[in-house]
Amino acid sequence: MRIVFMGTPAFAVPALEALVAAGHDVAAVYTQPPRPAQRGKQPQASAVQQAAERLGLPVRFPVNFKDEADREAFAALGADVAVVAAYGLILPQAILDAPRRGCLNIHASLLPRWRGAAPIQRAILAGDTSTGVTIMQMERGLDTGPMLLTAETPVDAKTAGALTDELAAMGAKLIVEALARDTLSAEPQPAEGVTYAHKIDKAEAALDFSRSAPEVERAVRAFNPAPGAFTLLGQERLRILACDVVDASGGPSVTLDDQLTIGCGTGAIRPTLVQRPGKRAMDVAEVLRGFPVPAGTRLG
């Protein structure tokens, strides 16, 4: 099948690789252009661009599809289908209609729950017990199209990074399965249960210890690896990469012992993996040996 692939982050890479491995003809790969990144602020190719170039596939970077030339170039590819995975651009109707079988989206939630930009983080923050992947026929609405295939997995105690990797692999398998079928029954999304996964604001990563300990622990997992949950220890920003909920109580934001146990609105958390500015991630015990934090220390 002749395919146009559209994606940007690492989440989309397994799907692209799986489509190539399945023998599909990937006519072009669309992705976001290189953007300044890291300390040097040098332009960095997206994960999908890097994968496409490794696979010898042509890559395109339209700023948007308002330009008639970009729409014509897309249509001229003569694709049977476009596969979209976290591309980062809203597709106009002309693009949605150009491929013979339209555009299929790999979405990292069980629709209609968590439509939008950050479904994985929002599922963890909300305490969802399960999530999954939906292959959806795209239409103009935000993740509103009919569903073709779904797969489910437990959230358990996974970080956003681990859950992203798992869902990416699931999505790759599902999209290959979807394209292998001659016909697929498109099921409209239920009207009930719609939620929106708004984009993560970096300010959300500042831990709010007035919340319950389970909520704080979920925030730590949801923001790992990015943007990274943190609190202030004096003038120093301390990233908390992993923690346990413990049976203790005390004032919110105050350390309850010399092991960095932190009181929350209800209960407490004990960080297990932290990172100080300019340092590598370390076990809390290792940090405290050279940087003691006495009981009664106020954070934030």
Sequence ranges of the binding site for (6S)-5,6,7,8-tetrahydrofolate = 109-112
| Interatomic CA distance for residues 228 and 223, integer angstroms | 5
DSSP 151: E
Sign of CA dihedral 145, 151, 152, 157: negative
Taking only Cα atoms into account, the Rg of the chain, rounded to an integer number of angstroms, comes to 22
Structure tokens at 229: 């949950």
State the helix-helix crossing angle for 13-21 and 160-180, rounded to 10 degrees.
Answer: 30
Amino acid at site 41:
K
- Binding site: which residues? 109-112
How far CA 82 is from CA of 49, 244, 280, 285, in Å, comes to: 16, 43, 41, 50
| Interatomic CA distance for residues 236 and 254, integer angstroms | 16
Helix (H, G, I), strand (E, B) or coil at 135: strand
